[in-house]
Structure 1
Amino acid sequence: MADVLELGTQVRNVGGVPIGSQTAAVVEVLAPVTDLSVQAALLALQQALDALDEISLDQISDITLPGKTLVRAIDYAAMRQLLGLRIGVDVQAYDSDLQALAAVAAQPFGLSLLTGADAASVRTLLALGSAASLAAGQANGVATLDAQSKLAASQIPDAILGAVRYQGGWNASSNQPTLPAPSSANKGWYFIVTTAGSASLQGPAGAITDWKVGDWAVSDGTYWEKVDSSDQVVSVAGLQGAITAAALKTALAIAAADITDASANGRSLLTAANYAAMRALLGLAIGTNVQAYDADLDAIASLTTTAFGRGFLTFADLASAQIALDIQPRIDNPKTRILASLSAAQTIPSAAFTKIAFATETSDRDGEYDPATQTWTVKRAGSYNIEIGCQYNPATATGGQIVLVIVKNGAQFKRMFTRYNATTFGTQSVSSAILDLAAGDQVFLQFYADMGATLPNDATQNYLSVTPVVAQYPAS
């Protein structure tokens, strides 16, 4: 244990535990420790607290068994196994870094560094030379070793050697050995009193004659100064006498919260009840935050997918896939694709093309027909047989023109029939046509009557039927 306090300060901590902190550490002193007496006080205190340099996990009360086992694991791989987070076994490995590495344009020089046999060969490649040529033994250079492979004392910082140097014991009664007058040559020398006495040494405030066993006599180059060892620690955390490390650790009641070099999240792992709780704290709960390992997913992860290929995952049905691939069977199922009829009798105003309100949908295999708008939106390009049943009653018997027309993409596309001087009530017409339509075409029907008309609500007389004939293939 190395305790260093500035001159003129009081004892403020024991073993790195601040006095007055939230721990139970208490240090009582007989009198304020001032000037150079700090060194003697620390020497005595050090003997009682040397064992505090290490605190085992078993002596911290609120660390759980899983927390101890995790911290004691031999390596990170063992930790991952304890946590049930083995990459490639428990959780899925991420492979984008390997893709990124493969994309790096490696240069010959960079690759040559990977083939260096040892540090010397790599330094040669980097034109750095050896340590002996790098300003050895000079300021801002590198330190050198002597024949015994040791650093020269002149190249070791004072902070390591120490500002004071122990010279031995001193009998303050007989002044043996005789202490020399302070000078620059003996600055930093210190002797420890082995026999109490009143030998006089010149201090900054006059002669010093009160010497107790354990006091220090320290030369500052001008005066001899005294580090008083009489200010000894009376108790530590309520303990007195020969204090063992175990007793002191118990008295201090150190818990995970007292570990200062761990974050709050890190301490929470130490106190977690089990590994499942640890995974939850880490946001790595299997099945919630991360995917459990699966050999099929591992195989998928190794694939180099394309944007087009990933699009297959978004297909809602077979028709969507067929549309994306632009393929259809040569002869489609002749079963009627769309069958719709009126929901109620419809009045057609005079001299106006009016959409026929086929609002009752009996069949719609691919979800192409919208009864709310009475519009068919073609999903797959192809040839379709359009059959329209239409029974109408002219508004008057004066006669006039009646027209049934197919509208495609907002424009009249094909007239199914036209009659002139129509005067007969209950006239029934069934018309059909084969149309070549593209995906996305929108189709509906319009009825026109000079004198106006009524379309009865009869699903057997007024209806729309669509049946696919031949699908189109992409050009070869």
Structure 2
Amino acid sequence: MAGEDSTASALAPASSLTGAGEGWAGFQSGSDVLITPSNIKTFIEANIGTAAFRALLDDANAAAMRSTLGLVIGTDVQAHDADLDALAALATTTWGRALLTLADASALRALLGCGYVIHQSAVNSAITGTATETTLATFTIPANSIGPNGSAEFMLLAGYTNSVNTKTLRLRINGTQALAITLTTTASGQFIFTIANRGATNSQVANATSFVGISGAGGSEQTFSFDTTADLTITITGQLTNTGEEIRLARRRCIIYPGA
């Protein structure tokens, strides 16, 4: 008809369109559905994208979208970090990366075979005026720090009255005497004592109970059965026969050499 909108006249009325049913009534009115033409007179219903895509459509902003996708920064994914970039750029080896799996410093020292000091002091500790065995120092070797093939090394520096009277410096482990040095007509001495596990955490070998410095001894090596999976209490004592004399523990140190 003259004067009619040619575009409008080209479109069929809704009643003449075909869909899933009669006219428009055949189409569903639910969400997530798009009505789209399949040809000039036929329309069909189609889902809007995938379920994952549709889950984003009602998100208010980018933060909400990251939550929907499980990409919340700092919770689901690592935020950018310049240090991590620098580490990723390093050339590493399999052995080097394996160090990152070690449980603690003790495990690292055992792997590397490094000795480390667990106790040392140069604070003078002295006894005089008593003939009773008296504690000069005490400390603890932590449980499991030695290992089945490790050892503990003790260094003791003592000063004392130069006389023929007996003066005794002792080292006890859990109360058991492991070392007893008789001091007489010298004025000082430095002594090294070592005890080592023998392939088990409860079997040890050590220096003879009495010796001079790090050299000869009058007796055979000693054996012990301390449980090194538990803490070991180390006690250093002194004892006089003449109460007018003195023993001084001038310095002590204990080094652990762990061995798995």
> What TM-score comes out, normalization by structure 1 length?
0.25
Higher RCO, 1 vs 2 (CA within 8 Å, ≥6 residues apart): 2
Richer in helix (by share): 1
Richer in strand (by share): 2
Specify the structure having the higher radius of gyration (Cα). Answer: 1
> What TM-score comes out, normalization by structure 2 length?
0.41
